[in-house]
């Protein structure tokens, strides 16, 4: 069977997006449930969502679905009907972006994967049905008042760096599969304490909570809907935010502001800054934090060398990067090095 996908160039699709006058809403959702035929599920979903002009990135696997999408505002209710018609997704929580201009995605990509979030778990006795208890924003704020509560951030360093909950523990790795056993090791002496795990949209911390229970921890919680849902709940209820700074998101926005606190620094000059960008040099594309002054000085590049490169003729640039695979480069301040990521960004979200 032919795989359904878009054949128009990325550049043209992005240009079409920015020419749209119809407002869009950015949404994320996930669900762990058995999918018997991921490819067939994927193809039908592609047809249904493409008809609604949905853009975004969706992963389908035998264990469920993980999606970050944007939809034209007039098609939002129709989207809900399509999703709710799928029995395991009936009534699913749709996390609506907090700080959204609707320009998050410009193409629809639905991919079949082994898992909806790469976890490295091979133990056949691991069961997602045995997961931690949900906490909402009000419960999260209340539990954080207890000094014995342990809050664990299950996101990557570049996400933690620009925003996190007060007193949250960072698991110092840039891959979720590495973080799971690290979290178990780091918290061995806290098996009877209240442990709250959180992430961007809930998918990683939900699996992490199940993994902790699987490894003998007793009182494990996870933030329902992640930071995105937390931010919406505190705004609606006019509650104070225990999360400070910016929430990194896995789309073209690269972040949505939760509070006005700027807790990160420019990776080039050290000035207060929490704006992520990708190096303008196509042979680099390093993900790093850059202030306006450095963006101007280096023309959106991460270094003078990259700036010099983008000033070369295009053909010479192509020649330089020919045969070089940098993967996904991420500046990791916690390790004082540039870490090449050979896989796609791990998403939620």
Which positions are catalytic? Answer: 199
Under 8 Å between Cβ of 209 and 120 = no
- Radius of gyration of the CA atoms of the chain, in A: 21
Coil, strand or helix at 169: strand
Q: What share of the chain is helix, strand, coil (3-state, %, to 5)?
A: 30, 25, 45
Instruction: State the sign of the Cα–Cα–Cα–Cα dihedral 116, 122, 127, 133.
Output: negative
Distance between CA 349 and CA 342 in Å, rounded? 19
3-state secondary structure of 170: strand
Cα pseudo-dihedral 262, 267, 269, 272, rounded to 10 = 0
Q: Which DSSP state fits 256?
A: E
Q: Provide the b/e sequence for 237-254 (b: ≥16 CB within 10 Å).
A: eeeebbbbbbbbbbbebb
């Amino acid at each position: 069977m032919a795989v359904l996908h878009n054949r128009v160039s990325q550049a043209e699709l992005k240009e079409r997006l920015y020419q749209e006058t119809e407002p869009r809403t950015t949404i994320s959702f996930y669900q762990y449930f058995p999918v018997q035929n991921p490819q067939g599920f994927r193809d039908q979903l592609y047809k249904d969502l493409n008809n609604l002009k949905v853009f975004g990135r969706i992963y389908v696997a035998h264990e469920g679905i993980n999606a970050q999408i944007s939809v034209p505002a007039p098609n939002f209710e129709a989207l809900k009907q399509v999703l709710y018609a799928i029995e395991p997704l009936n009534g699913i929580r749709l996390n609506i972006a907090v700080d959204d201009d609707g320009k998050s995605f410009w193409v629809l990509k639905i991919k079949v994967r082994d898992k909806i979030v790469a976890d490295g778990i091979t133990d056949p006795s691991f069961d997602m049905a045995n997961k931690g208890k949900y906490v909402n924003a009000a419960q999260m704020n209340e539990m954080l008042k207890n000094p014995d509560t342990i809050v664990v951030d299950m996101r990557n360093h570049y996400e933690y760096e620009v925003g996190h909950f007060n007193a949250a523990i960072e698991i110092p790795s840039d891959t979720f599969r590495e973080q799971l056993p690290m979290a178990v090791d780091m918290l061995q002496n806290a098996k009877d304490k209240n442990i709250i795990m959180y992430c961007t949209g809930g998918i990683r911390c939900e699996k992490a909570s199940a993994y902790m229970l699987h490894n003998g921890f007793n009182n494990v919680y996870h933030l329902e809907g992640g930071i995105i849902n937390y931010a919406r709940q505190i705004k609606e209820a006019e509650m104070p935010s225990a999360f400070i700074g910016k929430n990194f998101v896995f789309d073209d926005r690269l972040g949505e502001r939760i509070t006005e606190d700027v807790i990160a620094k420019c990776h080039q000059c050290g000035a207060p800054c929490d704006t992520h960008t990708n190096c303008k040099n196509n042979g680099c594309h390093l993900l790093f934090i850059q202030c306006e002054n450095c963006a101007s000085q280096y023309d959106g590049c991460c270094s003078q060398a990259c700036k010099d490169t983008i000033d070369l003729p295009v053909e010479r640039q192509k020649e330089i990067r020919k045969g070089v695979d940098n993967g996904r480069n991420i500046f990791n301040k916690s390790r004082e090095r540039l870490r090449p990521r050979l896989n796609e960004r791990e998403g939620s979200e």
